[in-house]
Amino acid sequence: MSTTVTAAVARSTGSPLTIEQLTLDDLRPDEVRVRMVATGICHTDAIVRDGIYPTPLPAVLGHEGAGIVDAIGDAITTVEVGDHVVLSAAYCGRCRQCHAGRMAYCENLFEQDFGGHRRDGSTALRSGDNAISSHFFGQSSFATYANVVETSVVKVDPDAPLATLAPLGCGLQTGAGAVLNDLRPEPGTSLAVFGTGAVGSAAIMAARVAGCTTVVAVDLHDSRLELATQIGATHTVNAANTDVVDELMKATDGAGIHYAIDTTAVPAVLRHAAEALGIGGTLALVGAAAPGTEVNFEIGASLVKGWTFKTVIQGSSVPQIFIPRLVELWKQGRFPFDKLIRHYALADINTAFADSANGSTVKPVVVF
């Protein structure tokens, strides 16, 4: 049956979200109704609000939900009512990439995560007689309840606090997975992270889990660099007043970095990251840029370095496998991502977006 929910709605491009009462429709057989406890705010929410990615507005965004299963459709087999769950990106489960275990690279990713509707074209949310885009990343978790596709649902340890676990659904999974699932650095190697927001911070923590012995944090904010040292960085570089390439060479005794992760998607930053690589080094881009963004790399002198550039989305993870592993690492004190989090009420969601944008909060989490 339909129910009334309180949600933050993105009504028009670039405008603040508005808190509204909406109608959530009947649960479908292949969906899970989740009572939301908390949801993280991610840069992707901001760029969709601002029209850089194509979700139709008005929409309920939010894609780092965490909550308790309130009801399940008849076809659901992976969770039960009362289970604690983290919500991640949706994937179709039927394309070649999904069948190969590469759910992050689902061939239907944009339709599944940014389409704003179910596969049949319907939306779960309405304001009066007007449709509101739903199923953002399969969930639309900026709401008190959501009808969520099964592929977005990840069962987690009920003893772990959901208000802490919420950011694992996207940003933290992306940074940690880029290191642990994709780059897989050997113990004793070096890794540099450009941009130490939530994604970059997760990469720093994961680098230490992997056994990297030189972990360099590069950012423009001294406060974030100080936090980076608390969670695992061995070196920090403030790019606002320092020659980044020179500092990275010093940190590696002139050999260059083995691995670099860029979370900024700023072309000039990517160029510097590539220049700082050592022989056989790898640069991974995990930051989201506007479609059409280009970057220039030097290909003459760098030819003999045999370096690699790659893009990574969602940490190349299978959320149902990787997120519970991150929870276990957190419980052991080896992935202390709770140090990044600041909680906000739903009524203060626009303040949370602003604090994330200006760098005063690394990871905002809305608690219902």
Q: What is the DSSP string of 202-271?
A: HHHHHHHHHT-SEEEEEES-HHHHHHHHHHT-SEEEETTSS-HHHHHHHHTTTS-EEEEEESS--HHHHH
Do residues 162 and 184 share a domain? no
The residue with greater pLDDT, 290 or 110, is: 110
Rounded-to-integer distance, Cα 325 and Cα 315, Å: 13
Do residues 153 and 8 share a domain? yes
- Give percent of the chain with pLDDT exceeding 90: 96
Provide the pLDDT for residue 1: 64
For 60-82, how does the pLDDT look when each residue is reduced to its tens digit (9 = 90+)? 999 999 999 999 999 999 999 99
Q: With cut-offs at 50, 70 and 90, classify the pLDDT of residue 288.
A: confident
Do residues 20 and 156 share a domain? yes
Phi, psi for 51 (deg, rounded to 5): 80, 10
Do residues 100 and 158 share a domain? yes
Total residues belonging to the chain: 368
Domain of 103, in residue numbers: 3-169+336-367
> How far is CA 91 from its chain centroid?
15
Do residues 238 and 308 share a domain? yes
Do residues 31 and 115 share a domain? yes
Do residues 180 and 248 share a domain? yes
Which residue do the tokens 């690492």 mark?
Answer: 329
Do residues 40 and 161 share a domain? yes
Overall domain count for the chain: 2
CA distances from 52 to 46, 253, 288, 310, 311 (A): 9, 41, 10, 22, 19
- CATH number of the domain where residue 284 is located: 3.40.50.720
Which residue do the tokens 């450009």 mark?
Answer: 194
Closest CA to 24 of 70, 93, 63: 70
Checking if the pLDDT of 115 tops 90, the result is yes
**119, 134 contact by CB (below 8 A):** no
Provide the pLDDT for residue 53: 84
Is residue 74 one of the residues assigned to a domain? yes
Is residue 325 one of the residues assigned to a domain? no
- CATH number of the domain where residue 139 is located: 3.90.180.10
Do residues 211 and 74 share a domain? no
Rounded-to-integer distance, Cα 65 and Cα 63, Å: 6
Do residues 101 and 153 share a domain? yes
